[in-house]
């Protein structure tokens, strides 16, 4: 998941859904399926701030452009006081007998020149300390043609964040940089949905609510809007939404909201409409669904 290639990241997250559904859906205390939660949380928070007014269905359009409220970079992290470690403090290391060293060879001074020696009374330079507290990065300042990786390295050199949030910072930078590109924007949206699916499978309902749902309470409604009949959505993105619905259906507190948002109780709901279209495509043999010419689907369904 540390890759900078969105295609590889999307494929990895998609491949992880099946084992997460198999092992994480059991809801046992022992979880045989383990994954880096911090990485998934970073991916799941893409386009997740409600104050910017993201509309996933509108983001699929070619004419969509980020509004003024969506522009502007805002990244926050907490930094603890860090100083350059003093090499003389080695109490945490095991004691070893130092090996005998040969006497150092002192070069003979050149006539007319003096050897420079450090005065023992000269104070050494104190270690550089970074201020502790909340740090907010409010400007990205990307140069035209600059890659998100280069922009992230510039921010790291300037603000010195802890190493554990490097990936979260990089994903925030590339999400901001790719917002105006439809193809990359849809890839980021699928990565977000896959990450939410994995979180819902592997976390309990309380953990999912405290670590993700509290920051995006309208996630189910936003995803349900993507599969409405009026929305032109491709098969891969629709499949990602269905996987997210299945994962969140394991949470009892979200089951009612999920059924209401998708109108499952009504025969004309969005999911039934999509499924009928998928079955029609299979029977017609067009679109994303192709059947083997050796089999007759109508005969199989009738039998």
- Distance in angstroms (rounded) separating the CA atoms of residues 198 and 35: 9
Rounded CA separation 2/168 (Å): 10
Mean pLDDT over residues 70-78, rounded? Answer: 78
Which pTM does this prediction carry? 0.75
Better-scored residue on pLDDT, 108 or 152: 152
- Is the Cβ–Cβ distance between 207 and 194 less than 8 Å? no
129: β partners:
83
Q: What average pLDDT does the segment 228-257 reach?
A: 89
What is residue 32's predicted lDDT score, i.e. its pLDDT? 61
Count CB atoms within 10 A of the CB of residue 102.
5
Please report the pLDDT score of residue 51 as a whole number. Answer: 55
Query: How far is it, in rounded angstroms, from Cα 30 to Cα 69?
Result: 44
How do residues 18-72 score in pLDDT, each as one tens digit? 888 887 655 555 556 678 888 999 999 887 555 566 788 888 888 888 776 666 6
- Write out pLDDT tens, residues 212-223: 888 888 889 889
Query: pLDDT higher for 111 or 194?
Result: 194
Residue 187's CB is within 10 A of a number of other CB atoms, namely 18
| Residue 224 scores a pLDDT above 50 | yes
81 within 8 A of 129, measured Cβ to Cβ: yes
How far apart CA 65 and CA 209 sit, in angstroms, is 31
Q: Which helix (H) or strand (E) holds 246?
A: helix 235-248
Averaged pLDDT, 83-106: 47
* 51: CB partners within 8 A, 6+ apart: 69
């Amino acid at each position: 998941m540390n890759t900078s290639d969105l295609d590889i990241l999307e494929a990895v997250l998609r491949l992880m859904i099946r084992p997460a559904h198999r092992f994480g859906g059991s809801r046992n205390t022992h979880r045989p399926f383990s994954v880096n939660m911090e990485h998934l949380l970073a991916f799941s928070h893409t386009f997740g701030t409600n104050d910017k007014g993201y509309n996933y269905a509108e983001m699929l359009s070619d004419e969509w452009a980020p509004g003024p409220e969506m522009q502007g970079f805002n990244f926050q992290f907490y930094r603890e006081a860090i100083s350059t470690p003093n090499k003389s403090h080695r109490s945490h290391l095991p004691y070893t007998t130092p090996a005998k060293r040969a006497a150092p060879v002192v070069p003979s001074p050149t006539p007319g020149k003096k050897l420079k020696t450090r005065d023992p009374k000269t104070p050494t330079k104190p270690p550089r300390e970074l201020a502790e507290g909340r740090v907010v990065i409010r400007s990205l300042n990307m140069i035209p043609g600059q890659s998100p990786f280069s922009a992230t390295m510039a921010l790291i050199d300037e603000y010195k964040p802890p190493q554990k949030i490097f990936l979260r910072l990089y994903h925030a930078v590339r999400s901001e940089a790719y917002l105006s590109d439809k193809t990359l924007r849809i890839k980021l949206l699928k990565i977000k949905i896959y990450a939410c699916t994995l979180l819902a499978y592997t976390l309990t309902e309380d953990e999912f609510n405290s670590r993700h749902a509290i920051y995006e309470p309208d996630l189910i409604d936003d995803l349900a809007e993507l599969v409405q009949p009026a929305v032109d959505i491709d098969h891969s993105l629709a499949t990602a939404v269905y996987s997210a619905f299945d994962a969140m259906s394991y949470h009892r507190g979200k089951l009612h909201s999920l059924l209401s948002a998708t109108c499952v109780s009504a025969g004309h709901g969005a999911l039934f409409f999509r499924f009928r279209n998928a079955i029609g495509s299979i029977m017609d043999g067009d679109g994303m669904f192709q059947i083997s010419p050796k089999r007759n689907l109508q005969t199989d369904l009738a039998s």
